[in-house]
Amino acid sequence: MKRLAILTAAMILGGFYAADAGACTGISLVARDGSHVVARTVEWAATPMQCGYVVVPRGHDQQSYTPTGANGLKYKAKYGYVGIYTEYEPFIVEGINEAGLAAGLFFFPNYGDYAPYDKAADAKTLCDMQFVSWVLSQFSSIDQVKEGIKNIDLVTLNHNIGAVHWRIAEPNGRMVVLEVVNGVPHFYENTLGVLTNAPGFNWHMTNLNNYVSLEPGSVPDHTIKKGITLKALGHGSGMLGLPGDFTSPSRFVRATFFQTTAPMWDNGFETVIQAFHILNNFDIPIGSQHAMADIPKGLPSATQFTSATDQDAMKFYYRTAWNSNIRCIDLMGIDFRKVKYQSHPLDKVQEQPVEMIKIHS
């Protein structure tokens, strides 16, 4: 029964991907006090997802699924962690562990692929949708992840989903992108701190050169002929040419521009709020990815949740398409030696709270 649920979740995710509905945007910021914040959006425009958060204690036993059942890699959590899952609890897409290591999953369609599944290697086989759970439960540094991946086989449960790639970030600011191409894992140092989807990370970095002329603020007046002076029509004219569509390359460029031009705030909390404001620009209105007849019901935004993690204060923030109020899980208040494994929906009620303002006569 459980295997059926897992495969159903994988098929649902495959359906999302087939509908070209997945689009994730990640950024990172640093505060004056040295706090590092990683933030991201998660989009699926096909239908509302069942999302929740989990609290995983030290010592928690986990096992990966494979295409043939619950018979993959077994591992016990060395570190407790908190993460958000989609559709099924082991499918963590973003989280942070008690060592401050953060990890997130981003779809990587058409450009990544894993080695073929080998049933004889089930004992070291790890499902790609469970990779974040494995990283958060086992490691405290990127170098440890690099060593650990040598001992596993990454597979997919459903080839219709396509591949994914990952962002892994240490609390000191170091970040890498992991992409598996032709079955071979490649780690890229991500000093920029931005990540979206396909094509590969190096392609996105090269593509930024197409936007070398972008700058914050307004461009000066420009006289092209005696008596004819061109003047900006409004503030922000230095951004003319910034791509506005929701494709992965365009989102990467916009995220880079907004992240690198953002002011530096004093502390982690102020920086978290800045991250949410930046990611407002990547909240995809429902309907923009559909023909009118195909717009799903019950989904107010394709951006189903947005999260931000203060890796120094060990606080994990999120908001959803149904409730834009920011909520916070404080890992410093969790004793991962004693806490019980638990999961909860992101929204107890999928309804936006509204504060009514009383007007006194």
pLDDT-derived band at 19, boundaries 50, 70, 90: very low
Does residue 126 sit in helix, strand or coil? strand
CA nearest neighbour of 355 among 324, 321, 319: 324
Q: What is the pLDDT of residues 272-315, one digit of tens each?
A: 999 999 999 999 887 666 666 667 777 778 899 999 999 999 99
With 0.75 as the threshold, say if the pTM is over it.
yes
Backbone φ and ψ of 35, nearest 5° = -65, 135
Instruction: Enumerate residues 6+ apart whose C-beta is below 8 A from 137.
Output: 56, 60, 62, 75, 76, 77, 78, 79, 81, 97
pLDDT tens-digit series, residues 95-109: 999 999 999 999 999
The conformational region for residue 238 under phi > 0 = left, psi -120 to 50 = alpha, else beta, is alpha
Tell me which H or E stretch contains 352. Answer: none
CA distances from 147 to 72, 135, 139, 143, 168 (A): 19, 11, 10, 6, 14
The burial class, CB within 10 Å (0-12 / 13-18 / 19+), for 327 is middle
Compute the average pLDDT of residues 65-94: 96
Please write the tens of the pLDDT for every residue from 170-220. 999 999 999 999 999 999 999 999 999 999 999 999 999 999 998 888 888
pLDDT band at 1 (very low <50, low <70, confident <90, very high): very low
CB of 36 closer than 8 Å to CB of 171: yes
Confidence of residue 17 (pLDDT cuts 50, 70, 90): very low
